[in-house]
Chain A
Amino acid sequence: MGTGTKNKFFKLLSSYHFWVLLILFAIGIILHYPQQILKISSPSVFSSIGLVRHAIERIYLLIPIAYASFFLGTPYGFVSVLTAVAIMLPRVFFISEYFPDALFETIAVIIIGTAESWWFAYYRSEKRERQKMMTNLEASFGELQTYTEELEKDDSRLGTLNQISNTISQSLEIKKILENAIEAVIRTLKVDAVWIYLLDEEMSVLNLAAHRDFNEEFARIESGQGISGRVLETGLPEIVEDASSDARLPPALREMMASVVVVPLTAKGKVIGTMGVSSQSKRKFAQPDTDLLLTIGNQIGVAIENARLYQTQLEVSRKLSVSERKYRELFENAQDAIWLHDMEGNITAANKATVEMIGRDSKDLIGLNAREFLSEESLLIAALVKRKLMSGQPIEQPYEQILIKKNGNKIIIKLTTNLITGNSEPDNFLCIARDVTQERETQNSLKKAFHELSESHRKLEESQEQLIAMEKLTSLGKLSASVAHEVNNPIAGILVYNQLLIKKLKTDKFEKEEALDFLSKMEKELVRIGRLIQNLLDFARQTGPRLSLININDVLERALSLVAHTAQLQHINIIKEFSTSLPLITADGDQLNQVFINLMMNSIQAMPLGGTMTIFTSFENGRIGAAIQDTGVGISKENMGNLFTPFFSTKKEVKGVGLGLAVSHGIIERHRGKIEVKSEEGKGSTFTVYLNRSEN
């Protein structure tokens, strides 16, 4: 402690402020006591210049106090106050004539001095604070400067990075990207070797893709092997400060490099390779360096990914262009006309077939509007198709349109139209068309031919009807003897009786009995005529097929009634063997009547010298048989085949038209029945009509 005080004391003595203070106080003493020290009569040095007495001397003492307080600190200020009091007190008590004034002045000096000391103390502490703040500020400024410098440095790194990134991304060729990256890394980080491995995902190996001054022995390393392998697995950078002691490095590498950093190359969060740098001399790679490398690694990763994507796209687009070429060929060489037209109907693309079909030059075709090659009607259809396609309604495809060629020829095309959607909006119609004019013409002529055919068929049917009618007339002709007999005889009788009655009435030789007898005979004959006429009318009626439920026996009776007399005249005996169990069938009675009359007349004519005509009916196996058998000449074998041939007749002597059997055959066929013939020359024939039981 003594040493401290001593030291302090010496320190005080060595301070020039102490000596200044001492001088100031010495001056103060002189000023307080001029009479005693300077031996002058005036109690004040300054009385000669007329200032207030003693005031200056007292105020003067405030100067050393202020000095001490200011330069040496508050404690010294207080010491100075005490010193000032010590200087002043002897004068107050012993010299001053005005004690109260002197005391007051002394107290004032004490108060002001103390205040002064305090003020300085405050001032000093303020100053210290300010100084401290200044120091802090200075420190901050220093930091700021460092930071700014850092920033500038970073900025230069960023510049490098940008440069690298630009260089890297400028190329889409992987080899070039890697070369550029290596170049940039060497330039920026001043390393001696750079190597880049890329992952072969399929093989799970790293291939040396590019390097500078690296050992090519290590062109391929397994995943997980060595430092690069580890980086690949962890995705984290590896820093080797002292390569010579790192066992992960093969000896060949340990020789050529002192410090190594390996960073992953990442793309889309996936490690796709590694990049290593090394220096020949030992070097401590700082965090920023590693960060930079990492960033470059990412850049390379992204660039490689882009390049790969580009390669894939290139491949795809190459394939696409191949397939497009193929489609183009297909389109161009298609047999069908294929064209595209926009929403306004302007052709935007067309193939060769279209050129031929529309008949214009291919250069004129593009931009050609549908209005210029479609008929007005077709344009209306086209508008309808467009509307339906646009609104997604179904349309019947393909449809037909009429196309007008450049030379004015009209052709019919069959086409399919589909809406093509370009960029999300439908922008074209795809039309595929074929000229079907020829086809249509063929179809039309076929249709025409068919129409003609059906017309002739109809005519044939008509003529068949006419044939039937004609044959009916022929039959009537053949029946005329019978008819004349059946009509004229009763009329003859009636006429005679009628005239006889008149005569008797006139001459008054009238006998009631006799007259009644005549009248009843007449009536009987009239009924006979009426019945015959009815039969004839039924037969001759020219109506189309008139189906009704009929009994074949009745039809045969009706036919017989017309031919009976003719048979009788030819000495033909008629035998009826009718089945009593025939079902009714649906048939045209008039036509069947015609058939039976025909067959019966044939029968009669086959027996010019008389014979027997037997008429059988039967019902067996669901079908009705009506047979007309004669004992006539029979039919020769050679004539058998021609029996149903129209206009074939053996009856020259009776002037047969040769239609009877043909027409009969037709009628029976239309009834889905058939006619069977059995004949033996010289013995007779049997014609049997078979009819199926009512089909309904």
Chain B
Amino acid sequence: MNPILIVDDEPIVRESLRDWLKEAGYQVITAESGEEAIGIIEQGDIDIMILDIRLPGRSGISVLREVREKKPDIKTIIITAYPSSELTTEALGLGVKDYLIKPVAPDALEGLIREALNKHNN
């Protein structure tokens, strides 16, 4: 099973989600910026990406676009602390699986991941 990529500039979000998902039995890899995330994606196999849409430096949307271009199979779940309709629309248009608003309920996220993986596996 490929690791789940968590992209967030906030350490607490990254770490807490990583700890939760690890506990749930997933492999987790984290990135704190868009650039770092692209690097990881290009290097290895990632099935699922949890992406903060607002990132310092390279924005979430641009990361999303590139992922869609390079690895269209990656299922992306957007998390945001500050939702905006424009960003949501744009993100959804880029084929994200879901859009969660922080604070994210961890079991709900886990559910989404499971669902995505099942689809993926199917």
The judgment on whether A and B are partners is yes
Interface mask (B12-23 → A, CB under 8 Å = 1, otherwise 0)? 110111011001
State which residues 441-477 of A face B: CB under 8 Å: none
Which one of B36-44, B64-72, B101-109, B114-122 is at the A interface? Answer: B101-109
Contact between A489 and B20 (Cβ–Cβ < 8 Å)?
no
* Cross-interface CB contact of B104 among A485, A496, A497, cutoff 8 Å: A496
State which residues 496-539 of A face B: CB under 8 Å: 496-497, 499-500, 503-504, 518, 521, 524-525
Question: CA separation between A480 and B81, bound complex, in Å?
Answer: 10
Contacts of B10 in A (CB 8 A): 485, 489-490, 492-493
Interface mask (B72-91 → A, CB under 8 Å = 1, otherwise 0)? 00000001011000000000
Question: CA separation between A569 and B19, bound complex, in Å?
Answer: 26
Is B57 located at the chain interface by the 8 A CB criterion? yes
How many of chain A's residues touch chain B, expressed as a range?
Answer: 20 to 34
Question: CA separation between A401 and B36, bound complex, in Å?
Answer: 92
Name the residue of chain A whose CB is nearest to the CB of B23.
Answer: A500
Contact between B54 and A489 (Cβ–Cβ < 8 Å)?
no
Contact between A485 and B105 (Cβ–Cβ < 8 Å)?
no
Given A503-B23, A504-B23, A492-B16 contact (CB < 8 Å): yes
Question: CA separation between A483 and B106, bound complex, in Å?
Answer: 22
| Least distance between A19 CB and chain B CB atoms (Å) | 198
| Least distance between A38 CB and chain B CB atoms (Å) | 214
* Cross-interface CB contact of A499 among B9, B20, B57, cutoff 8 Å: B20
Contact between A500 and B19 (Cβ–Cβ < 8 Å)?
yes
Contacts of B9 in A (CB 8 A): 568
Contact between A488 and B81 (Cβ–Cβ < 8 Å)?
yes
Contact between B81 and A489 (Cβ–Cβ < 8 Å)?
yes
Given A489-B81, A503-B23, A496-B16 contact (CB < 8 Å): yes
Contacts of B13 in A (CB 8 A): 489, 492-493
Contact between A491 and B102 (Cβ–Cβ < 8 Å)?
yes
Question: CA separation between A518 and B15, bound complex, in Å?
Answer: 10
Is B29 located at the chain interface by the 8 A CB criterion? no
Contact between A521 and B106 (Cβ–Cβ < 8 Å)?
no
How many of chain B's residues touch chain A, expressed as a range?
Answer: 20 to 34
Contact between B17 and A496 (Cβ–Cβ < 8 Å)?
yes
Contact between A492 and B57 (Cβ–Cβ < 8 Å)?
no
Contacts of B79 in A (CB 8 A): 492
Name the residue of chain B whose CB is nearest to the CB of A487.
Answer: B81
State which residues 275-334 of A face B: CB under 8 Å: none
Given A495-B106, A571-B56, A485-B82 contact (CB < 8 Å): yes
Contacts of B103 in A (CB 8 A): 488, 491-496
Is B94 located at the chain interface by the 8 A CB criterion? no
* Cross-interface CB contact of A492 among B23, B54, B104, B107, cutoff 8 Å: B104
State which residues 5-35 of B face A: CB under 8 Å: 8-10, 12-13, 15-17, 19-20, 23
Question: CA separation between A503 and B15, bound complex, in Å?
Answer: 17
Contact between A569 and B54 (Cβ–Cβ < 8 Å)?
yes
| Least distance between B91 CB and chain A CB atoms (Å) | 16
Q: Please report whether the interface of chain A is mostly helix, strand, loop or mixed according to DSSP.
A: helix
Question: CA separation between A196 and B69, bound complex, in Å?
Answer: 153
Is A484 located at the chain interface by the 8 A CB criterion? yes
Interface mask (B45-72 → A, CB under 8 Å = 1, otherwise 0)? 0000000001111000000000000000
Contact between A493 and B15 (Cβ–Cβ < 8 Å)?
yes
Question: CA separation between A490 and B8, bound complex, in Å?
Answer: 12
Contact between B56 and A495 (Cβ–Cβ < 8 Å)?
no
Contact between B105 and A495 (Cβ–Cβ < 8 Å)?
yes
Name the residue of chain B whose CB is nearest to the CB of A570.
Answer: B56
Question: CA separation between A518 and B20, bound complex, in Å?
Answer: 11
Contact between B12 and A490 (Cβ–Cβ < 8 Å)?
yes
Question: CA separation between A615 and B101, bound complex, in Å?
Answer: 34
Is A481 located at the chain interface by the 8 A CB criterion? yes
| Least distance between B98 CB and chain A CB atoms (Å) | 15
| Least distance between B21 CB and chain A CB atoms (Å) | 9
Contacts of A518 in B (CB 8 A): 19
Question: CA separation between A524 and B101, bound complex, in Å?
Answer: 22
Contact between A492 and B102 (Cβ–Cβ < 8 Å)?
yes
Contact between B15 and A488 (Cβ–Cβ < 8 Å)?
no
* Cross-interface CB contact of A480 among B8, B20, B82, B106, cutoff 8 Å: B82
Contact between A481 and B82 (Cβ–Cβ < 8 Å)?
yes
Name the residue of chain B whose CB is nearest to the CB of A514.
Answer: B19
| Least distance between B116 CB and chain A CB atoms (Å) | 19
Contacts of B81 in A (CB 8 A): 484-485, 487-489, 492
* Cross-interface CB contact of A525 among B12, B23, B55, B107, cutoff 8 Å: B12
| Least distance between B81 CB and chain A CB atoms (Å) | 4
Contacts of A481 in B (CB 8 A): 54, 82
| Least distance between B103 CB and chain A CB atoms (Å) | 4
| Least distance between B78 CB and chain A CB atoms (Å) | 13
Question: CA separation between A571 and B54, bound complex, in Å?
Answer: 12
Question: CA separation between A570 and B57, bound complex, in Å?
Answer: 7
Question: CA separation between A568 and B33, bound complex, in Å?
Answer: 12
Name the residue of chain B whose CB is nearest to the CB of A500.
Answer: B20
| Least distance between A566 CB and chain B CB atoms (Å) | 10
Question: CA separation between A525 and B103, bound complex, in Å?
Answer: 13
Contact between A497 and B19 (Cβ–Cβ < 8 Å)?
yes
- Interface set of A (CB-CB < 8 Å, partner B): 480-481, 483-485, 487-497, 499-500, 503-504, 518, 521, 524-525, 568-571
12 A-B residue pairs with Cβ-Cβ distance under 8 Å, sorted by A, are: A481-B54, A481-B82, A488-B81, A488-B101, A491-B103, A492-B10, A493-B15, A495-B104, A496-B103, A503-B23, A568-B9, A571-B57
Q: A495-B105, A496-B103 are in contact. List 6 more A-B contacts (CB 8 A).
A: A481-B54, A488-B81, A489-B13, A492-B13, A499-B106, A500-B19
6 closest A-B pairs (Cβ-Cβ)? A493-B12, A484-B82, A488-B81, A496-B16, A492-B103, A488-B102
